[in-house]
Structure 1
Amino acid sequence: MAKYTGPVCRLCRREGAKLYLKGDRCYSDKCSFTDRGFAPGQHGATQTRKKVSEYGIQLREKQKTRRVYGILERQFRSYFDKAERQKGITGENLLILLERRLDNVVYRLGLAESRNQARQLVRHGHFTVNGHRVNIPSYLVKVGDVVAVKEGSKESPLVKSVAEALSRKTAPAWLEVSADDLNGKIVRYPTREEIDIPIQEHLIVELYSR
C-alpha cells in the first residue's frame, strides 16, 4: 500500500491549518507551521491564491481529514460508505468511526505521542485488545474493550518514554485510563463535541454526494 513518506509539516502548510501530526512538538515553539504558515513550494510565501471553487473547498476538507488520521483514499471512502449506512448524521458517524480506530485510541489514551507513532507501535505488536495481541491499526474498538500495552513491550525504551509522560496527559471523557497498568477502557463512543479536530464534516458529505 502506498503511503506518504515526506515531511509531515508540509501537509499542515498545504491545508493551511495545524493538523497536529507530530504530537507534542506541534504545541511547542518548534512547530514550523507557526513560522511558515504559507503553502509549501518555491513560491508558497508570495503566491496569491485564486478563488477556490465549492468543489475545491470540499476536496480540501476531505484531504485534511484523511491526513489527520493517516488514511488513504480507498479506505476513507469505505469508512464513509459505512457511516452512510448507519443511523444518525453521516458526517458525525464518519468521525466516530475514525476515532474508533485502534491507532487513534492508542494516541487518545496518551500511549503514543502522535497517531503516526501509535500506528507504528500497533503494527509492531506492542498492544493488546481484551488480552489478545492486535497489530492492525484500523481495528475498530467497541464499548467495553480494554486496550493495553503488551506485557513484554513495557520494557521497550519508546514505550517507557511515553509511559513517563502519561500522568501529565488527560484522555477524553469517553476513555478511561490507568497510567499504572498502561491500559485504557472504551467507556462509550465519543460525541461530536469531544472530537477536537478542525474539520467541517458536512463538506465531506457534500463532496461524496455529488
Structure 2
Amino acid sequence: MAKYRGPVCRLCRREGEKLFLKGTRCMTEKCAIERRSYPPGQHGQGRPRNSDYSLQLREKQKLRRIYGLQECQFRGLFEKAERQSGVTGDALLRLLECRLDNVAYRLGFGASRKQARQIVSHGHLTMNGKKINVAGATVKTGDVIQVRERSRNLLSIQSSLEGVDGRGIPDWLELDKGTLKGTIRALPTKEQITLPVNEQMVVELYSR
C-alpha cells in the first residue's frame, strides 16, 4: 500500500475526529475539524452509510492513521496482539503505544507522531545508552530513552518540549527535562490509553 503524502487534515475530516496529526495546530482555531467538520470531497455532506462493516472499517482506519502506520504494519501488530494472552484489543493498543516513535511523541520530543518518527529515524535518540534509528522498536519497562547530547539544541525538539505541558505526559512515562531523558516506568494499561477509538470493532473487522 502506497504511503499517504496528501494533506493530513483531510484524514481528520474523513474520520470526523481530531487525530492530532499536526501537533499544536490541532489545538487552535485553524484546525480543519473546527472549520469544516464534515468529510472532504463533493459527497462529504451527504448521508453517511452506517453498516457494521463501514463502522468497523472507520475505527480501524482511525487507529491506523493516529499512529501513522501502513496497512501491512498495522496488520502485523494485530497478528502479534492475537498471539498474546489477554484481550486482543488491549494488547493491540499496548503494542501501538510501546512503539519508540510514539514514546518519543508522548515524552514531548516531537510535536506530532510524524515529527517524532523523523527524529528517531534521523538518529537523534538513544535507547539504554545506544543510538537507535528504528521508529518501530518496542520499548520495555525500565528502558531509558534520551536525546543525544549533540541533538539537544535542535529547534524542533526544544519547541516540542515547550508544548508538552499542555498535552501532559502519561503516568507510565517519566521525563527529566534537564537531561532530556525519559524512562519507561511500566507498560501502559487500557485505562491509561485515552484514544477516540473503539478497539473492539477493529478486532471484529479482522475476525471476519
Using the size of structure 1 for normalisation, the TM-score is 0.94
Distance 1:109 1:198 in 2: 20
Residue number in structure 1 paired with 2:141: 143
Q: Deviation at 1:154?
A: 1.0
Please say if residues 166 and 179 of structure 1, whose CA atoms lie closer than 8 Å, have aligned partners that are also in contact: no
Distance 2:167 2:14 in 1: 29
Deviation per CA, 1:55-82: give whole Å up to 9, x if none: 1111111111000000011111110111
CA 1:209–1:167 in structure 2 vs 1: closer, same or farther (change >3 Å)? closer
Residue number in structure 1 paired with 2:197: 199
The alignment partner of 2:105 has SS state of helix
The alignment partner of 1:63 has SS state of helix
Distance 2:2 2:11 in 1: 16
Distance 2:24 2:94 in 1: 23
| Aligned-residue CA RMSD (Å) | 1.4
Gaps of 5+ in 1: none
Distance 2:39 2:149 in 1: 44
CA 1:163–1:56 in structure 2 vs 1: closer, same or farther (change >3 Å)? closer
Of 37, 52, 55 in structure 2, the residue corresponding to residue 54 of structure 1 is 52
Residue number in structure 2 paired with 1:27: 27
Q: Which runs of 4+ in 1 moved over 3 A?
A: 163-169
Deviation per CA, 1:12-39: give whole Å up to 9, x if none: 1111111111122111111111110101
Distance 1:95 1:32 in 2: 26
Residue number in structure 1 paired with 2:113: 115
Matched, 1:94 2:92: yes
Using the size of structure 2 for normalisation, the TM-score is 0.95
Residue type of the partner of 1:68? I
Residue number in structure 2 paired with 1:124: 122
Deviation per CA, 1:113-139: give whole Å up to 9, x if none: 110110111111111101111111101
Of 158, 161, 178 in structure 2, the residue corresponding to residue 160 of structure 1 is 158
Distance 1:13 1:70 in 2: 16
Residue type of the partner of 2:7? P
Higher mean C-alpha deviation, range 168-177 or range 61-70 = 168-177
Distance 1:62 1:99 in 2: 16
Distance 1:151 1:198 in 2: 36
Gaps of 5+ in 2: none
Please say if residues 24 and 163 of structure 2, whose CA atoms lie closer than 8 Å, have aligned partners that are also in contact: no
Q: How many residues align?
A: 208
Residue type of the partner of 2:2? A
Please say if residues 21 and 68 of structure 1, whose CA atoms lie closer than 8 Å, have aligned partners that are also in contact: yes
Distance 1:192 1:86 in 2: 15
The alignment partner of 1:40 has SS state of coil
